[in-house]
Amino acid sequence: KGGGKPYGFLVRKLMETTPDFETALSKINATSFLAPQYFILAGAKPFEGAVISMDRFSAQNLSATPPVRRFSDSAGPWFLLQTNDDANKFPLDHRRPMTATILAMHGQQDVSINFVWDIVHNFPLKNHMSVFTWVAVPSTNYSQAVLRGEDPVLEEENTVALHDAPETEEVQLLQRFLRRYGAKGRRHVISQEGLRLLET
């Protein structure tokens, strides 16, 4: 009765026929969908990244729904993080606060394909309910999806092994997070360079 549309075919057609990021963002945000959902958009140009929190039948219809979040060339966080709850509300599980803490220990200069896979394909973002994980970079046409139980094909990089370092306050905070929420069967290795989770 409300005239809402299922997202699948509509969004696929929009992605195939819309030539630029801003038009795609506007069209999705103006569409009436059957169910509440999140859309994470990435374009090929600098600062083309956004998260739309969509209410049923209308974008940001409810007063407590987050507005469209997007990158900006002004000062602000270098990443957008979206899990299965509204970003302006108290998190429903540990994934968002833990991952935000991990990302805050890094800078944009640390980002690579392998870095992104290390974040999205490990605890806390990946869990026993993860069906598949997909990473894409529109500017380079990189795209790879892996199913549960599969590992991504990583790019060759000149990497430096993590070494133990004097613990900062941030590292101690992460250690407490991991002791409380740590994934069973994983060994946690934390240093000032960041967080790595290794299978034991």
pTM of the complete model: 0.75
At residue 192, the pLDDT reads: 39
What digits encode the pLDDT tens for the residues 79-130?
A: 999 999 999 999 999 999 999 999 988 988 899 999 999 999 998 999 888 8
Which pLDDT value is given to residue 156? 76
CA distances 85 to 29, 49, 120, 131, 183, Å, are 18, 19, 17, 18, 21
The pLDDT tens digits for 26-58 are 999 999 999 999 999 999 999 999 999 999 887
Element (H, E) at 38: strand 37-42
- Helix, coil or strand: residue 139: coil
Q: Any idea what DSSP says for residue 109?
A: G
pLDDT in tens, 155-188: 876 543 333 444 566 566 666 665 554 444 344 4
Taking the CB of residue 199, how many other CB atoms lie within 10 A of it? 7
Six-digit token pair at 68? 């469209």
